[in-house]
């Protein structure tokens, strides 16, 4: 009986390296401290209702998961934390909107912007949205909707 030398085919090492690198990047994202601020210039705690995080019913969408920050039209919007712009565009009843991913992999969604001066992948340290407020038919005055989505 003759035996043949058959080499075992092992998994390529690059797959382990990619998995390790992905885990490292995810861990680093959770280690970055998150310093939140109100995303409207010259706004205070009195410009938004702390009880309005979840409101039902809310217009066509039915529910509203986020806070409404009221301010005079023309006031600038800045990202509530440092991050990268991962999406910008128009989104249904939210109008012009921007999504920024920040520390701890939290996605910050800003809606009802009149305009924005940013682009995909724009800077980490500070994202200036320069949102000029919109007047909505269902709301009195100008407002920004700010929602933080958590990856779990």
Number of domains the chain contains = 1
Q: Please indicate, yes or no, if residue 29 is contained in any of the structural domains.
A: no
Q: Residue 21 — very low, low, confident or very high, per pLDDT cuts 50/70/90?
A: very high
Does the residue 144 lie in any domain? yes
Is 13 among the domain residues? no
Structural domain contains residue 76: yes
CATH code for position 113: 2.70.70.10
* 36 found inside a domain: no
Question: Is 9 domain-assigned?
Answer: no
146 vs 56, residue with greater confidence: 146
In a domain? residue 23: no
Region 63-82: what's the mean pLDDT? 74
Q: How many angstroms separate the CA atoms of 107 and 144, rounded?
A: 16
Nearest to 53 by CA among 143, 138, 148: 148
pTM, entire model: 0.70
Domain range for 85 is 45-149
Q: What is the mean pLDDT of the chain?
A: 72
Contacts of 111 (CB under 8 A, 6+ apart): 66, 91, 94, 95, 96, 97, 144, 145, 147
Q: Is residue 69 part of a domain?
A: yes
């Amino acid at each position: 009986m003759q035996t043949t030398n058959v080499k075992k085919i092992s998994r390529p090492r690059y797959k382990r390296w990619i998995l390790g690198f992905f885990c490292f990047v995810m861990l680093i994202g959770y280690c970055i401290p998150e310093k939140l601020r109100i995303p409207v210039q010259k706004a205070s705690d009195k410009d938004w209702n702390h009880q309005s995080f979840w409101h039902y019913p809310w217009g066509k969408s039915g529910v509203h998961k986020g806070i409404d920050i009221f301010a005079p039209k023309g006031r600038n919007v800045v990202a509530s934390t440092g991050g990268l712009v991962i999406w910008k565009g128009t989104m249904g009843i939210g109008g012009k909107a921007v999504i920024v991913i920040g520390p701890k992999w939290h996605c910050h969604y800003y809606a009802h912007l009149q305009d924005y001066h940013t682009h995909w992948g724009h800077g980490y340290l500070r994202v200036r949205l320069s949102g000029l407020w919109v007047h909505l038919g269902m709301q009195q005055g100008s407002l920004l909707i700010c929602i933080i989505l958590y990856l779990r």
